[in-house]
Structure 1
Amino acid sequence: MKGNGGHSSVTGIPRDMEKNNLLVLKGWKLIRGQPNEMLTIETIQLITSMIN
């Protein structure tokens, strides 16, 4: 991991995993990706297929 703060720190990574697991338990769906991938046709198609 690059850097040593926030989401890439020794405490940040497990905290993010815990948050991800909690939202899945609550029925949320999580899509992870790079910022430049978020507004692509592929991501929009993925979201659409997850909703349907």
Structure 2
Amino acid sequence: MSNVPDPISTPNPGNPPIPTPTPPITEPEPDRLPDETPNPNPDENDAPPLSV
């Protein structure tokens, strides 16, 4: 038996215990670049509907 304390039962001051991993951020990942328009055809959306 050595006088060295068990690192599991006695955390080493030099090595703080590993914090529990934070869950992944639940943000909706954009399917496109933020500078891209979400509409596939912005020209058609900007133009007035033809079927009126």
* TM-score (normalised: structure 2): 0.20
Greater C-alpha Rg: 2
* TM-score (normalised: structure 1): 0.20
* Bigger helix fraction: 1
